[in-house]
């Protein structure tokens, strides 16, 4: 009985001893946070990424504040809305990208571009949530649930070939970046840091798809 009682108190003491260390290890870097969507941000989303018909509940989304470094080494502030199911993964990934000074041009809400995916991609913007269908179909995109993240979108286009043989590139101005053998900034390739971080957190990369190549796209 004495031994059991001693062991119980010993385990409790160890738990209290290591609890602060665990909390410290989970602490975010300054400039990085995950929260419920603030009222002023939700107002910005109305009629754009969050239309009246949107069935996704506000409480199922999260607002992320983060830092990133562009190709010139300048530190920039970013914001993103994504599904709460991936919020911690995404903020951890962006923390690691920031620490490693992995270049990301822009991280703004797609609402700043009128929720126009083409305009956001032309600006090389990285984003997540936008309630919309996959372009050219009625199927909802993973972005419609906030379960996908697009990174450095101008230099990592989405490429598909129609049955007619015609090649469709999104954004339309990114044709020169379809050939992935070239050397250019912001390019995502299998094995690079962004690819390793997202895939290690359970995301699938669109650049590995067969029928469509979506080099900017990571989804769960």
Rounded to 10 degrees, what is the CA torsion of 202, 205, 208, 210?
A: 100
113-154 pLDDT, tens digit per residue, is 999 999 999 999 999 999 997 766 678 999 999 999 999 999
Quote the pLDDT of residue 12. 52
How many Cβ atoms are within 10 Å of 48's Cβ, its own excluded?
17
Non-local (6+) Cβ contacts of 194 within 8 A are 93, 97, 102, 151, 188, 218
- Which residues of the chain fall below pLDDT 70? 1-26, 135-137
All structural domains of the chain with their residue ranges: 29-219
Beta strands 125-126 and 106-107 are: parallel
**Residue 46: predicted pLDDT:** 98
Within 13 Å, how many C-alpha atoms sit on residue 16's CB side?
5
């Amino acid at each position: 009985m004495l031994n059991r009682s001693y062991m119980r108190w010993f385990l409790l003491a160890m738990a209290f001893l290591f609890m602060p260390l665990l909390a410290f290890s989970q602490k975010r870097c300054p400039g990085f946070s995950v929260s419920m969507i603030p009222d002023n941000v939700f107002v910005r989303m109305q009629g754009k990424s969050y239309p009246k018909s949107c069935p996704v509940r506000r409480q199922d989304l999260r607002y992320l504040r983060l830092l990133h470094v562009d190709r010139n080494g300048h530190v920039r502030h970013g914001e993103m809305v994504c599904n709460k199911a991936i919020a911690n993964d995404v903020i951890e990934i962006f923390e690691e990208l920031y620490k490693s000074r992995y270049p990301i041009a822009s991280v703004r809400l797609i609402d700043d571009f009128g929720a126009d995916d083409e305009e956001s991609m032309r600006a090389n913007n990285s984003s997540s949530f936008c309630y919309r269908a996959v372009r050219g179909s009625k199927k909802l995109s993973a972005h419609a649930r906030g379960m996908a993240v697009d990174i450095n979108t101008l230099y990592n286009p989405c490429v598909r070939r129609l049955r007619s043989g015609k090649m469709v590139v999104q954004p339309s101005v990114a044709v020169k970046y379809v050939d992935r053998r070239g050397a250019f900034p912001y390019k995502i390739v299998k094995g690079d840091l962004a690819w390793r971080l997202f895939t290690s957190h359970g995301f699938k990369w669109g650049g590995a798809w067969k029928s469509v190549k979506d080099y900017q796209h990571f989804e769960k």
